[in-house]
Amino acid sequence: MKPTIALVGRPNVGKSTLFNRLTRSRDALVADQPGLTRDRHYGHGRVGSKPYLVVDTGGFEPVVDEGILFEMAKQTLQAVDEADAIVFLVDGRNGVTPQDKIIANRLRQSGRPVFLAVNKAEGMNRAIAAAEFYELGLGDPLAISAAHGDGVRDLVELVLEPFPDEVAEEKVKHPKFAVIGRPNVGKSTLVNAILGEERVIAFDHPGTTRDSIYIDFEREGHPYTIIDTAGVRRRAKVDEAIEKFSVVKTMQAIEDANVAVLVLDAQQDIADQDATIAGFALEAGRALVVAVNKWDNLDQEQKDKVKRDIARKLGFLEFAKFHQISALQGRGVADLFKSIDEAYEAAMAKLATPKLTRVLEMAVERQAPPRNGLMRPKLRYAHQGGMNPPIIVIHGNSLSAIPDSYTRYLEHTFRKAFKLQGTPLRVQYKTSENPFHQERNPRPGDRPGARRGKK
């Protein structure tokens, strides 16, 4: 499972800038104004040699006892409890402040490994910038610049060093599937319906499950692991700090699973948050099955409306199978489980290079890639580059000019040819090097236009 790193510090020390640097995104708002981040931002770390999750927290003001700053401090402490490691960010230009000392004491008591990062050290002598912060008693400070990237990779490698590399073989021993969705859509009820017994607490109350529960079971002699996850709510609807960090657990469960089962409530509007949760699974490359729950009590007009909403808001899940079920009554659960098996098999499919290349040739013959100026990309052969999700690597020339629309055409062609229902498919390109590239510049002594013959 991916470790979680929490970024903690006073307001305006550069936590959101570091978050954007680590995730290679602009998801966190950044401005020269303290207290801008009030809620959590979650992302996949993309800097470093190991995968991880990173959490951007709001400015930590540990001495306040009321108001929004108090709520932000309470949420930050919860983030510390949920994290596997903490990066304590301080401002190298302001030096040690009384708040830094209080935060350092709080973090020292957490029992989590704490790494002290002295930010805004660009243009400064690193040793001098970090020296003052030894008095915080958190080990060797590491001077960095989140804005410029100086020292950031060294910091990440240091934080990740104690954590083992992910072993892909562990994920494919038997199917793991995570049941995900908003609170109170019937996830735990569906888990019970699949298991056939009351193994998971299921109340008609949002947020009953606040952690991900792993349950091993057998079905028709085959082992499975089912993961019941906490509900992910819109930020504006979350009151208790502990519920905010159910997002971390859900993201970790998705990463740890082979298949995600997205549960929708047919009696509620299909919300943007449903699409966001599906996006988590899609970004992780996980196979997906969608269960539209509480379907049995709808009239035909309501059913048609739900179908239209799904087509409009979840159209990017065209590769997934949708099932109308009643988890409480157990209706449609058997067919749902068949789709889970099919999605798992598709995600773990082994694709032979000769057949991949033949399908590629037929696809190009049917529709060649568009020209880029005078050149047309040349697709030569394909092979499998990974599983869960299946990755197809295509070799050729001038492949960087292939538009996204043609890539989607190839993905659709491969999915249809290999019957990869239920899993996302990724096509990657690898352009062959031109062996004559170095010959373009004439060698010393060559006459323009002269042909080099054999000696």
pLDDT tens, position by position, 154-186: 999 999 999 987 644 444 468 999 999 988 888
Distances (CA, A) of 350 to 355, 356, 387: 11, 11, 8
Distances (CA, A) of 225 to 257, 258, 408, 443: 9, 10, 32, 64
Cα 102 from Cα 23, distance rounded (Å): 29
Cα 326 from Cα 322, distance rounded (Å): 13
For the chain, list the domains and their CATH numbers. 4-160 (3.40.50.300), 169-347 (3.40.50.300), 353-437 (3.30.300.20)
The answer to whether 228 is annotated as binding is: yes
The answer to whether 10 is annotated as binding is: yes
Q: Pick the residue with more confidence: 258 or 167?
A: 258
Query: Taking the model in full, what pTM does it have?
Result: 0.65
The answer to whether 171 is annotated as binding is: no
The answer to whether 229 is annotated as binding is: yes
Tell me if 289 sits within 8 A of 278, measured CB to CB: no
The answer to whether 397 is annotated as binding is: no
Tell me if 129 sits within 8 A of 118, measured CB to CB: yes
The answer to whether 358 is annotated as binding is: no
The answer to whether 297 is annotated as binding is: no
Q: What is the pLDDT of residue 303?
A: 92
For 90, the enclosing helix (H) or strand (E) is strand 85-91
The answer to whether 120 is annotated as binding is: yes
Cα 452 from Cα 455, distance rounded (Å): 9
The answer to whether 16 is annotated as binding is: yes
Specify the amino acid at residue 45.
Answer: G
The answer to whether 12 is annotated as binding is: yes
Burial of 261 (0-12, 13-18, 19+ CB in 10 A): buried
Map residue 393 onto helix, strand or coil. Answer: strand
The answer to whether 100 is annotated as binding is: no
Q: Cβ atoms within 10 A of the Cβ of 182, count?
A: 22
Cα 4 from Cα 15, distance rounded (Å): 15
Q: What is the pLDDT of residues 20-66, one digit of tens each?
A: 999 887 655 444 444 434 455 777 888 998 989 898 887 777 665 65
